[in-house]
Amino acid sequence: MSKAAQTLLEEIHSESLQVLLASLRPHSGLSEVAHADTISTSSSAVDTSPSSTFRLGNVVEIQGPSASGKSHLVYHLVSHCIIPPEYEDCALGGWGKAAMVFDSDNTFSIARVKQILLKRLESRFATQPHLWTAEWRSDIVEKCLDHLHIFKPSSSIQLAATLRNLPAYHTDNLPHTDIGVLAVDSINAFYWMDRFIVEHPSSSGKASKATVNPFQHVISSLRALHAAYRPLILLTSWLIGPNQSSSNCTSDRQHPSIYADPRHQLRSTTPMPSGTITHRVTMSVIPAPQPLTSADPKWPSPQFVCSIQKPGHDSVGRFMLQINDGVDCRLPEGQKFLVSVC
């Protein structure tokens, strides 16, 4: 390729097909929020008490369109995992376990996790403000982040290999700390790459009549880790197409596919063995209204409606997720949105 042609190509803006299709999706209305046992998303989305939603050993799929709060929910669950149960005789309410995050989308924000940690820890020290000194803040946050390990695979094969090697990594680096959370954000990040490999096996120089989808290796590795460690597994997945009504959340048919041919459908959102997925969380964006006046151009905090369902059950619990200043995660003041325990 000539230098002039190369320069011209570099000037052309490009974006992924995923982003393009997600930007074209229509927005649908939101249904009413169901009422059940109260769980505030500000601090108790993950808990070891009987009223908790997610527990160790659960496999949770968090699905939704682009920019629907999936990663932010993961940030909060990861933060709860790495916060210790107590510190210097002060109860903090976390798990005190290690969190392994596989950042397939290359968008995981350490800065955001740190902000959430500070916000949640500050609320825990509200009754003992004299302990919440700069030295304590630095020490606690550092200890928490020491338990957060992030991997950035660039293909399903790399993801599977890293998952397969995780037991050895855990033994070498965290021999005295259990794995509490294993998150893959997102589980279908390499769908198009995997599909190309399956449909064009000769492109790799190793033609085969029965090319194995690289994602199958990811599935087998996740199965092995789930059986060995029983962590809380979080799998985010993006959806392309119209947002689905909550009334359609009772079956896998809610997941839209790009192609009518089943061979070309989006990867199943239940990569684990049948019956292993314990909770499915569907995120829906609440469109933000226009600023009231030009003098007050501040936009309201992003809000999302999250539906929680146990596969095989008809009941669907819902709660609202609100992000204040890009950090906090709580219920709007004066409103009471509740979520059923699944």
Which phi and psi (to 5°) does residue 19 adopt? -65, -40
Sign of CA dihedral 171, 175, 177, 178: positive
Residue 312: predicted pLDDT = 77
pLDDT at residue 334 in the model: 37
pLDDT block averages, 10 residues each, the chain of length 342:
64 51 38 29 37 80 88 92 88 93 95 91 82 86 96 95 97 95 93 86 59 86 94 87 40 33 40 71 76 54 77 76 56 34 28
Residue whose entry in the numeric block shows the structure tokens 């993801």: 159
pLDDT of residue 316: 78
Mention every residue, 6+ apart, whose C-beta is less than 8 A from residue 76: 41, 45, 46, 116, 329
pLDDT for the residue numbered 12 = 59
Report pLDDT for 100.
98
- Answering whether pTM is above 0.75, one says no
pLDDT for res 248: 41
Q: List the domains of the chain with CATH numbers.
A: 53-283 (3.40.50)
| Angle, alpha carbons 101-141-170 (nearest 5°) | 40
Distances from the Cα of 282 to the Cαs of 68, 249, 306, in angstroms?
9, 8, 6
Continuous segment of H or E residues that includes residue 185: strand 179-185
Q: Find out whether 101 and 183 touch, Cβ atoms under 8 Å.
A: yes
SS3 of the chain: helix, strand, coil, percent, to 5: 35, 20, 50
Of 17, 6, 2, nearest in space to 66 by CA = 17
Task: Tell me the C-alpha distance between 134 and 115, whole Å.
Answer: 15
Confidence (pLDDT) at 285: 78
3-state SS assignment for residue 12: coil
